[in-house]
Amino acid sequence: MLPLLSARGAGGAVASPEAALLGVDWRDAERLTVTMVDFSFAPDHLELRAGVPYRLRLRNQGERAHGFHASGFFAAIALGGVRAVPFAGPVQDPAAAGAVALTTIDGRTVVYLPVAAAAAAYARAPARQLLEAGAASAPEPAAPAGDGPNGRAAVGPETVEDIRLEPYQEVEIDLVPIARGAYPFRSSLYGFVRGMYGRITVD
């Protein structure tokens, strides 16, 4: 794997997040995939272009939960949306199969849920979690969490530290890079302190 690099890009912002997302048709976005298995992931280097829409798919093919840590990169993108997508594999908790957990730099966790699972999950969620159901009929979160899993992200990308993927889960992230630079990312296996490093380059 690649060595740890500086988390700050050197090129500066090329557009505001609002301007970068204006008029984007995500069906035409370029596709990228990072596949994680226990103790490895591929590819370890992604090359993106500033101002170009991407749909980044994170795929956990391992039997343990994985984290995708990329706070510097998240701070350098306009975030269009986050969603769980179907995965053909064993799922330990079908009710939570569509959930996406975003851990913020200040330690909060924002959990996106499909509407069908939102009510039950809201009732049993830890007090620090913010649950976004994506529908007006769902329970009101303790704090507003945004427009839902298929719209704009509930938190700004500059505050996101980690995306947690449960075993056999896939997550799609719609994004537009807005700052050139080289950004490290880390794939970690929950329960282990050390992770494996890769790099995202934005030209």
- Asked if residue 101 is part of any domain, the answer here is yes
Contact in structure between 26 and 80 (CB atoms under 8 Å): yes
Contact in structure between 154 and 110 (CB atoms under 8 Å): yes
pLDDT of residue 55: 95
The secondary structure of residue 54, as a DSSP letter, is E
- Asked if residue 160 is part of any domain, the answer here is yes
Cα gap 168→170, rounded to integer Å: 7
- CA 105, distance to chain mean position in Å, is 13
pLDDT of residue 2: 32
- Report residue 1 as tokens: 């794997």
- Report residue 160 as tokens: 């996101």
pLDDT of residue 195: 74
- Asked if residue 128 is part of any domain, the answer here is no
Contact in structure between 71 and 7 (CB atoms under 8 Å): yes
Q: Provide the residue type at 128 as one letter.
A: R
**What is the C-alpha end-to-end distance of the chain, expressed in Å?**
21
User: How many domains are contained in the chain?
Assistant: 1
What is the residue-level pLDDT of the chain in tens, covering all 203 positions?
332 233 333 456 677 888 999 999 999 999 999 999 888 889 999 999 999 999 999 998 888 888 899 999 999 999 888 888 766 565 555 545 567 778 777 777 777 665 445 555 555 544 333 333 332 233 333 333 334 443 344 567 778 888 888 888 888 899 999 999 999 998 888 766 567 899 999 99
Cα gap 24→87, rounded to integer Å: 26
- Asked if residue 78 is part of any domain, the answer here is yes
- Tell me the helices (H) and strands (E) count for the chain, helix number first: 3, 14
The pTM assigned to this predicted structure is: 0.72
Q: Which residues pair with 30 in a beta bridge?
A: 54
- Asked if residue 38 is part of any domain, the answer here is yes
pLDDT of residue 188: 84
pLDDT of residue 52: 96
pLDDT of residue 162: 84
- Asked if residue 32 is part of any domain, the answer here is yes
Q: Please tell me the chain's helix, strand, coil percentages from 3-state DSSP, rounded to the nearest 5.
A: 15, 40, 45
- Asked if residue 79 is part of any domain, the answer here is yes
pLDDT of residue 141: 35
- Asked if residue 124 is part of any domain, the answer here is no
Contact in structure between 149 and 185 (CB atoms under 8 Å): no
Contact in structure between 77 and 53 (CB atoms under 8 Å): no
CATH of the domain at 58: 2.60.40.420
Domain, as residue range, for 29: 12-108+149-202
pLDDT of residue 136: 29
